[in-house]
Structure 1
Amino acid sequence: MIPMTSSWLHRHDKATVVIFRALQLGDMLCAVPALRALRAAMPRARISLVGLPWAEQFACRFRRYIDEFIAFPGHAAFPEQPVRLAQLHDFYAGMRARRFDLALQMHGNGQYSNAVVRAFGARAMGGFGAVAGGTDECLIPFPETGAEPLRLLALATGLGAPACGPQLEFPITGEDERALHASGVLRTLAPGSYVCIHPGARSADKCWPAARFAAVADQLAIRAGLDIVLTGSPAEAPLTAAVARLMRRAPVDAAGPLSIGAMAALMSRARLLICNDTGVSHIAAALRLRSVVIFSKADMRRWAPLDQQLHRCLWDPFGERENTVVDQARALLMLR
């Protein structure tokens, strides 16, 4: 077994490294503290990320930590995307031909993902897992408890990287700002005058009822005098439209035309975000935007933002805690 101490990582500073984490936006943002630590340990290494096709934009946004993106064609055990069978042979053949010095598995507990990463054919492998498959592997037991950013940061430090803090990041680029201004969404909005409400999520069963979002939005608009901005992906436009129809005071519906980066730029000017447990909650954490996050399915201890003062999380699978959401929102708006 390779002793993956800090000195080992330093000796491999000029190595070629491939990281496997083929997940969605929130999961990827939770990995940023670990990526930051790995880059600090190996500032001259060439680091490649194997991820879902959408994550090419993630890799571009985090160029400080990632040098190259490689699209993953999928695996039958992973539900995030259908397997692209026609691409599998060429993908693995291409990975083995690269002869990476080090492969890091950052995709779950390793039950299925370690076999994927071993098939990359790297000279050495590190990551989460129970039983090493060879003398060139260093596996760390997967933590069964704890927040996701801290679990992944523990992996990086366990392999010898320095801890560089658990805070998330979401760099906003000039392109993001230009896209936001071009959308016209800001035409009637002053910074700090509005609340963003994001009623969607990747899974419909994680969504708080549209009527509850509308009622909370009206409370903040009418009693606190704040503008309401509804955000969402193009696929979530029917949902934001439903929330808007249920409101007594008309919101700004920004769903659809905005990219993820432009939406983050919009959120960076807001007073507050109210959302389901979904990727935008981690954008808010990265931006230090105060938020109320409503959970109904996922493990709140694992996926809640770390700063419980700025981010108030509550469990409401049946849509019964509208008043609590309003109370938490008001408390956050009063914070100095």
Structure 2
Amino acid sequence: MHTPTPCAVLWDESHLWGILVCRALDALQVPYVLLKAEHIAAGMLSSLQPPTLLVPGGWAKLKSQALGQSGRQAVRDYVHSGGQYLGFCGGAGLGLASDNTGPFLDLCSWSRKPASDRLPNFSGHLHCTLHGIGTEPSAALPVWWPSQFAPNPAEPLDVLACYSHPGADFWSADIVWSDLAQREAPAWEALYGININPDLLHGEPCIVRGHLGQGSFVLSYPHLETPDSVQANTLLAHLLGQDQPALVAPWDLRQQSPIWDNDELGKIHALLLETICFGQQHFLLSWRKPWLLGWRRGVPGSALTFLLAMCWQARH
């Protein structure tokens, strides 16, 4: 019986997002191996020859620093020789052209849009128009605080999806957009000092595909691995060549059936839930999804979510 070659997942600087990718691959029954940046720099992509290198979300700059010059070149060599690169959010940013913040993979000449020109802090589902990906003309796709592409017209990429309009669970900063009257947006922008109107996103590319040498890359700001996001999960299955898409199951960080009932981890999990409860009582935190907190500006809700998710995963 033929055993398929496993995909590779770059683990460094992924945290929650790395766990989500692994859960999604498990749901799709796609075999994979976890690689650290030092493994890639040492030539593991060349020896393993995975069909796809998946790079989860997280800070692109920190991923690049972990890879170093030799690791970045190893990824470029892998794609150039026929490999497929699939990056989500920070993993998508890692694939872009180097800029004044540091070196990236330079898989293409597109870069990140300047912060002053983009919507800097948005999350939730957006309805997107699809082009040559999947079987439907549109899909509601989840984004979790992405950047935005700055296209290079001289070297176009294939645009697989563009933003259309917000879904019901869309937030701009810590504002539930569906609760806000359109006429109130300028006042909130003046108060927050940032762009908050998602009209800025309309028609903007959010999933792109290109080629480098004999290989290809897909850069996706939407997190197609998001739990319980049917249309996103279907697109992920399509990109991985799966005939039968499978839903990535819901994930509730408050529900526990630990395989490894470690006392210290159990105490940490309980303390984190206690801290979150305290934040809820003071209207600083809320549960947006069973696996994701929402928070007021300035509250470290992201860090709390990451810690709780990693603690949960370590015991399960």
- TM-score bin, normalised by smaller chain: 0.3 to 0.5
Structure (1 or 2) with the greater strand fraction: 2
Structure (1 or 2) with the greater helix fraction: 1
